[in-house]
Amino acid sequence: MHYSVEIGARLQAERKRLGLNQDQFGDAVGVSKRTQAAYEAGTTDPTSVYLNRAASKLGVDVLFVVTGVPIPRPVSDLSTGEEKLVCRYRSLPEGDQEVVDRIIGAMSDVAPQGKN
């Protein structure tokens, strides 16, 4: 696999993790949908300015996008149960994380108001 294609695939994974389509992501970082698609396809390399905007405006893990190694995210100020859930979630493959996200999203949409 070509290096740019790998970067593009990881960039797409980050965009999807954030729940954004290419238009939304591109608008947030100042590029067109066409440019965003080219970055994700690996036909064009993202610029440092673009990556900086993606990190600062959207929280994209640029280290992961460029190298494939995610930035370790500390688990702090969580209860023991919350920490356990976060650790389990992080150990899941990306596809399974997406399923969990959909399930939690559906459950929170029907949860009674005022309960956390």
pLDDT digit string, tens, across residues 66-78: 999 888 766 667 7
Q: 2 versus 106: which is more confidently predicted?
A: 106
Architecture of domain 3-67: Orthogonal Bundle (1.10)
Residues 6 or more apart in contact with residue 104 via CB below 8 angstroms: none
Q: Is the pTM of this model over 0.85?
A: no
First-last CA distance in the chain: 44
pLDDT at 51: 97
Report domain extents, the chain: 3-67, 80-110
Q: Phi-psi bin for 59: left (phi > 0), alpha (psi -120 to 50), beta? A: left
